[in-house]
Chain A
């Protein structure tokens, strides 16, 4: 048993207990304790990193119940994720010390974020899909609790409910995938003493399993896993919960809904990549097309949103689409697809945490005014914060030589290679969607940025905004350095995940398309939003605008049509039936009231009388049976 590996997720669990217990009496200590617990995870992850360098993969597993095992499995993929989660979580905890300093319930907040970090790290290191699922739901629960942290806000609790139910749909589909896998793997000769849902067993034997259960069955399993991933990682059409989830504290959005939890779905697909790889081709294609389509779709919707946090939420959805698409490109690149996707995941976690926390700093200064239409002119008033926001935005749009440029443009080029490899129309869509996505990313990002930073303040609050103290912003500076410089480790990173990776090589003209689209986007947004020109627009009658503004009516479809017009009437019908059935039973009862009286007299609760009934019954049955037996 390798203890530091277990300590990665045990440390914040202890942190959770201690934070809550101590925090009840000493509120101000709670944040420090939680941060120390997360720091413990970071140290444990680093120790494990060096241990794995010299000793290879860690795999400790014990029986949990029946043939389901529980334990830790740590390889390179795990380590990358664990280091990212503990590092980003630490930065966000440090910023939350400032952000949540006046909240009366901050010990609950820190206890919950600590528990969340434990769940996320546990998910990353777990060795069995069932244990994985346990932590998967634990992070979902923490997300539910933290979105609804300000429980007195009706919006926040409604958003928490929506988040829970929508992700639950995905989770249960994931569970169905496990059910099919578990059932169909029975009798597989390579199983031995392994648990049928053990992750190392599955990824090492994926090819043989595919032959044993049939590629189509395994493909169905893979698609159901993908559905689970789509719920957690908010991919189309299960993405509807995440913009609403922005009602929670901003640090929660940064931690859970930008950097870590929403990438759990991507991590799942990467973790069991071999299942996707060896099953029927439709599994892999559904990953790439789902990712690419979501990247495009969320980008379109993001253009119509005014709320600064919701813009960032849509950009998260879109960027996760890029990651999934990259992993899906593994159909051509093999495990290299995973390394492209994971690199974008890490880079995105850093710059998106930076973006959200700078947005959080703005919101504190503006007393939670989130509508970008009423901001403006903040660059002069909060120079430090807005500069940080600017750095994050540059990384987000993949401005050359920021970290996002290295991670994202590789994916877009790779999708071109993917098209070249297959040469069919379907395989052209990923590149089309992803490259268009680059334009859209620039549009929504700089629409937000210019409206926030430039021009004149458009509200009283914006006029009097001030930077927070530089100490509060320290974690953001660390992240900003990462957002600018992480590109330097690109080659090392790819090699760490997949030693035999190859960078996609595409013609120069194709390679500069995303970059030039980005430049076009910058020019357009500057003309429209860098100047007061946008204030003259009157779109509200335009049908296209209304479709976009209503998020393509998907929320409307889910909430108003499916939930209110389908489920509720069905349920009401069942209730009506239940009530009349109940009444019918009661009527039968009362119409035989006389008989009932008789019953009651016999069965007055005295045991002796029961014996009488019993003996009469015995004899009756005996007689009947005798007669029939004789016949």
Chain B
């Protein structure tokens, strides 16, 4: 895995040297990375994975102060690696020739290596560096190729998420320092720092300080209710390939932070924090669903839908750790599955919207209307994406939402009805959006529009097949997630 990661860095760096054919290069590179990641996962995870971290490698850089580059992959991060490779590949191939400048492709490739870096780093120093590395290319993608208000929005995105990162840094140094205090060893290794036995030794105040720092950083990325306001603006202003990356690639960061990094120390967390997380999850779910309902632009509506889907993830993290027995495993695995499913589904929705926008020039529900008549293929893909997003069984979204919903009763009791209410609202506005934009009499003012051509159909179909496959055979990754949880609980 490390080799693949280094290749992504090389690939990204090399892309700057290419003139003229950078799109083809990026397609080839991200395709190769995707293939390599899949091959790697099949070899290492197809059988014999028993939980924990595998493929561990360590490089001492300055070991006296704990600066070590160590890597490793768990079942969960492997699933996310595949997801981000798919999403990046998709975001590259949906761009059309000559629409965007050459640098977009370099930024996308840098994002890919940043994401890979986050997912395979097992020490906080490099984790943090890659955490920041991801922000920069995305900032440039929004700032250079964005739509309305791209300057202020990209700045907002950057500053907002950066505030989260600052807290992440503070927390990292808190745990780093106390580790030195208690053992006399400098280390950034997650394997050393994120263990319950060690956490129990930190003074209570600083332990909570560290927790809240981590949580704030991850919840901003998630995003969760009070710290979300970068999200709709950024999603809306970003160019469509950027939105695909944001929704499919960057949204995993918060979830990975919770499930990949914080979960091993859940015993120190206490029910207080978990209750807060559950509450935030439910509030996000309701709040984003209700806000989404009134949005005119499909892109912005789906941005809120994406945020609401991530509310499920926060909820499942809190609830799963409160519970015990088989429902806890179902709940947590469901939360992780939801991250993957949500990434794929949102990538499909936003890429379909991109094609619809390209052929009609509109993305607001009221400016479209009846386009099923003229563009049945694109409309069917959008409908499929919307149905997947509202959790229709047979598609990937259902497995996550089902696991979360069925597992959650033990933790929240009859509050489940609030979740149900939010899900009804979700179904309503998804269907309402489909009805308004796709069905009914054709909006003649749009003139003649083009339907998807064959290459487009193949791209979107590939995505839909992945979503469908995960919905019908969830054990492709579900088993890995359950094993991963088994190693921690």
* Interface of A toward B, CB cutoff 8 Å: 63-67, 130, 133-138, 141, 144, 148, 151-152, 154, 157-158, 160-161, 164-165, 168-169, 172-173, 175-176, 178-180, 182-183, 186-187, 196, 567-568, 570-572, 574-575, 578, 581-582, 585-586, 589, 596, 599-600, 603, 605, 607, 610, 614, 617-618, 621-622, 625, 629
Contacts and interface: CB of A to CB of B under 8 A. Distances in A.
B387 interface: yes
Given A165-B424, A186-B325, A571-B294, A603 B406 contact: no
Contacts of A182: 327, 330, 406-407, 409
B380 to A, nearest CB: 10
Nearest to B139: A605
Given A165-B428, A182-B409, A152 B370 contact: yes
Contacts of B478: 65-66
Contact of A141 (B178, B370, B392): B392
Given A67-B330, A161-B431, A176-B420, A575 B294 contact: yes
Given A133-B393, A183-B407, A614-B169, 4 more contacts: A135-B393, A571-B293, A572-B294, A585-B160
Contacts of B133: 607
Interface string B295-317: 10000000000000000000000
Given A582-B229, A614-B169, A621-B174, A138 B441 contact: no
Nearest to A169: B424
B373 interface: yes
A571 B329 contact: no
Contacts of B206: 625
A603 to B, nearest CB: 7
Given A141-B387, A575-B291, A64 B169 contact: no
A175 B424 contact: no
Given A175-B405, A572-B294, A610-B129, A618 B173 contact: yes
* Closest 8 A/B residue pairs (Cβ): A134-B393, A157-B439, A574-B290, A575-B294, A183-B410, A65-B478, A179-B409, A621-B173
A603 B394 contact: no
Interface of B: 128-129, 132-133, 136, 139-140, 152, 155-156, 158-160, 162, 166, 169-170, 173-174, 177-178, 181, 206, 229, 232-233, 287, 290-291, 293-295, 325-327, 329-330, 333, 370, 372-373, 387, 392-394, 398-399, 402-403, 405-410, 416-417, 420, 423-425, 427-428, 431-432, 435, 438-442, 474-475, 478-479, 482
A164 B427 contact: yes
A575 B232 CA distance: 12
B419 to A, nearest CB: 9
Q: A interface, by DSSP: helix, strand, loop or mixed? A: helix
Given A134-B394, A571-B293, A582-B229, A66 B170 contact: no
Contact of B440 (A144, A151, A605): A151
Contacts of B162: 599, 603
23 contacts: A63-B475, A133-B402, A134-B394, A148-B435, A148-B439, A151-B370, A151-B440, A165-B431, A172-B424, A175-B405, A182-B407, A568-B293, A578-B291, A582-B233, A589-B159, A596-B159, A603-B158, A617-B169, A617-B173, A621-B170, A621-B177, A622-B177, A625-B173
Contacts of A152: 370, 373, 439-442
B431 A179 contact: no
Contacts of B294: 571-572, 574-575
